[in-house]
Amino acid sequence: MYQYDSVDKTIVKERVAQFRDQVNRHLNGELTAADLQPLRLRNGLYMQIHAHMLRVSIPYGLINSTQMRTLAHIARKYDKGYGHFTTRQNIQYNWPELADVPDILDELADVEMHAIQTSGNCIRNISSDQYAGVAKDEIIDPRPYCEIIRQWSTLHPEFYWLPRKFKIAVTGATEDRAAVQFHDIGLEVVHNNANDIGFRVYVGGGLGRTPVIGKVIKEFLPREDILSYCDAILRVYNLHGRRDNKYKARIKILVNAMGIDRFREEVDAEWQFQKDGDLKLHDTDFDTMAAFFPPPAYEDLSDGDERIAKWRNLDSRFNAWYDNNTVEHKQAGYRIVNISLKEHAVAPGDITDDQMDAVAEIAEQYSFGEVRSTHEQNLVLADVRQSDLLEVWKALDAQNLATANIGSVNDMICCPGLDFCSLANASSISIAKQINEKFTDFDELYDIGEVKLKMSGCMNACGHHHVGHIGVLGVDKKGEEWYQLTVGGDASNNAELGARLGPAIAKDKVGDAVSDILHVYREQREDEERLLDTFRRVGVDPFKERVYAETN
Amino acid sequence: MALSNTKAKADRSKKARPKATPSRIQSNIESNQAIVNQAIVANTIIHVAETEELTAADLPTGEISVPLNLWLAEKDAIKARNAKIAVQIGVDEEPEDLVNDLADVDMIVLPFVSHVDGQSYSHSYKLRTRFGFKGEIRAIGDVKFDQLGFLTRVGCNAFELPETENLETALRAFQEFSEVYQPSADSGVSIFSRRRAVH
Ligand code: SF4
């Protein structure tokens, strides 16, 4: 993975010193809380209901074992012994003290990590495919491009006070696991007919209050132009995006107001000024960056280790885990292992300090010392030898990290909601528990198959509910917590927003409603259909009828 | 023009520019001191706020900066004062409107009503890198210690801070970073070019 050189190290260390100075000035009364606020946000520090929350950046979801141990150490020393992985592949701590934060950032800097731009109206962490470099359907490894964009966007002096936050995602595979069509800029690394590498560029996608699917602004952008073109998009946005209403300030609103063609013209006009300037990248830049992401030293192995079939026969739990939590690898003899952070009765994405240490250890022993975080709030060991799977499973199982529910209805995406977030209308963690409790029978869970259930505690949609196969949105009805359900959302290549099921549902009935939806699916499905496929065929009505049957 | 749907914009052809919007300074700004080229200096400039009725005849004597609209409407009268020419560009105005006059202008003033509105950063960047403005670019209004570093990078070289700010302390802002990743008005070189040169 990428290793800091002296420039990266200097920037991150100087950034910590800058923030330490800001905190000191604040504590001495020289910097008001109001003036500190946007500065601390740009260092990942929020003020939540109970305490501060610190969001640490995990660029495109890549962490090594040393970094993971530091994350565990921070959870232990400065927090209440756990951390929370977010839908943007970052990690959050819910209980740090303001005065400790500069020390935390210093400890992070020592292992080449930071919290820069994880919040605030600036360019946020670049997110990507959690299977980058190992997925069987990968065309081009997106990670070198992610890192180039990360560096360009870090502490960009001109784009630090944007109208609103700005998110960029990159994918390089056939199946889009990075939801690029739901980002302010979405980049798909592609080849053109001449086999040159470039990007299909989407702009103006996003969730939140006004969910919009991104529009193609460039079918093929040569890779050497990626920074100058992003720079042009950002300048047009910085100059023309609305600032009078924060709900209308995202780039998607500007793109919709201008129309994509007019917006494209404006960007192209801006781009001409700098297209061939210093931001133009050279082949050597990509080669230098790609050298940081070499394939690990794989052994020459083959698929079809007989022991695996034997283990699967002998142990139904291992079998279920193998089926649900592991994925094909492009290298023979290896497999991708998902670590479920959706254990029963634990808030989705939460992980304890001991579990983090254990993951670091397991990664070191079995997966070249690397871990990835996913936007589905799980972790991934990307390069596990098939012959090690039983050992890895045992080690994870001992830490309650082998719940065989990846991709199932229990593998929910869920924002912190009312338990932690000051913007929330409703609790989301307790709903996750309620749904979990409905589906304790794993055979039933496996029979239902792939369901992406996504939940947000308010319209800001941090839990991506619009693109859940089942989406749950917390709403406030006269001070009570109610839940609006949607069905049929999809964040992948066939991007689709979920259809509203009907009126909001009372808090204690959400689990029943989800269960009703899945009953209808099981009755109506044909052949190998997933919930999403059945929904696309039969539409929303049968689901609606069942869910609201009792209330009618 | 389609942009007018999204924001009140100056329409260059009709010269029907809105005056005295909430995005511009609401009253004159006058500071005793300024930071110019990273040093604290005495200051006597009055930044004149725009009003519907403002004309060149109303301008105070002494060093002043004028709103862009007034400059465009009464260039000759302003030049006839025989003083340094300083023109403000509000966040909702465009540096393009001043491009043909840059040779006459000594100073461009970027007034911040709120420091979280970053449009002036792009204005400053364009003035330096695209329009080649070599005079002073001065940020005023809601500009404090923690904005000086990035404003310097995009091309501002002078600042007037609110009275409450300690200018001695604020000078530290210029020393915070010794490395940068991306080109801007201060340096035309990206980290990628620099690494390329080493390899
Ligand atoms: S969706 Fe709403 S409640 Fe949930 S984390 Fe985001 S802002 Fe908070």
Closest partner residue to A158 (CB to CB) among B154, B188, B192 is: B154
In a domain, A409, yes or no: no
Decide which of A263, A290, A317 is a domain's last residue. A290
* pLDDT interval class at B14 (50, 70, 90): very low
Residue B148, class by beta-carbon neighbours within 10 Å (0-12 exposed, 13-18 middle, 19+ buried)? Answer: buried
Q: Percent of chain A at pLDDT above 90? A: 86
Q: What's residue A112's pLDDT?
A: 98
| Average pLDDT of the residues in A363-384 | 96
In a domain, A318, yes or no: yes
CATH of the domain at A267: 3.30.413.10
User: A258 with A151, same domain?
Assistant: yes
Euclidean distance between CA atoms A93 and A82, whole angstroms: 7
User: A139 with A183, same domain?
Assistant: yes
In a domain, B177, yes or no: yes
ipTM field? 0.93
Q: Is the dihedral of CA A198, A203, A207, A213 positive or negative?
A: negative
CATH of the domain at A336: 3.90.480.20
Decide which of A380, A397, A414 is a domain's last residue. A397
Which among A9, A42, A161, A250 is the top mutation candidate for probing chain B, defined by the most B β-carbons within 10 Å of its own β-carbon? A161
Q: What's residue A374's pLDDT?
A: 94
In a domain, B12, yes or no: no
B195–A238 C-beta distance less than 8 A:
no
Q: What's residue B21's pLDDT?
A: 82
In a domain, B20, yes or no: no
Is A158 an interface residue toward B (CB < 8 Å)? yes
* pLDDT interval class at B17 (50, 70, 90): low
A238–B122 C-beta distance less than 8 A:
yes
> Which range of residues forms the domain containing residue A517?
422-551
Q: What's residue A80's pLDDT?
A: 93
In a domain, B170, yes or no: yes
In a domain, A122, yes or no: no
In a domain, B6, yes or no: no
In a domain, A274, yes or no: yes
Q: What's residue A261's pLDDT?
A: 98
In a domain, B24, yes or no: no
User: A160 with A266, same domain?
Assistant: yes
* pLDDT interval class at A439 (50, 70, 90): confident
User: A286 with A313, same domain?
Assistant: no
Q: Which atom of ligand 1 is nearest to A416's Cα?
A: 5
Is A18 an interface residue toward B (CB < 8 Å)? yes
Q: What's residue A47's pLDDT?
A: 85
Which among A225, A239, A240, A266 is the top mutation candidate for probing chain B, defined by the most B β-carbons within 10 Å of its own β-carbon? A239
* pLDDT interval class at B8 (50, 70, 90): very low
CATH of the domain at B72: 3.20.20
> Which range of residues forms the domain containing residue B89?
29-198
Q: In chain A, how many domains are there?
A: 4
| Average pLDDT of the residues in A284-294 | 96
User: A310 with A286, same domain?
Assistant: no
User: A79 with A141, same domain?
Assistant: no
User: A278 with A362, same domain?
Assistant: no
User: A164 with A283, same domain?
Assistant: yes
Q: Is residue A440 scored above 90 in pLDDT?
A: no
Residue A36, beta-bridge partner list: none
Q: Which atom of ligand 1 is nearest to A422's Cα?
A: 8
Long-range contacts of B97-106 (CB under 8 A, 24+ apart): B97/B10, B97/B12, B97/B68, B97/B72, B98/B68, B98/B71, B99/B131, B101/B71, B101/B75, B102/B131, B102/B132, B102/B133, B102/B135, B104/B75, B104/B79, B105/B133, B105/B135, B106/B135, B106/B136
* pLDDT interval class at A49 (50, 70, 90): confident
Is A260 an interface residue toward B (CB < 8 Å)? no
A94 lines ligand 1 (CB under 6 A): no
* Centroid of ligand 1 to alpha carbon of A464 (angstroms): 10
Q: In chain B, how many domains are there?
A: 1
| Average pLDDT of the residues in B2-20 | 50
Q: Is residue A551 scored above 70 in pLDDT?
A: no
User: A74 with A212, same domain?
Assistant: no
| Average pLDDT of the residues in A164-173 | 96
Decide which of A243, A261, A290 is a domain's last residue. A290
Euclidean distance between CA atoms A331 and A383, whole angstroms: 9
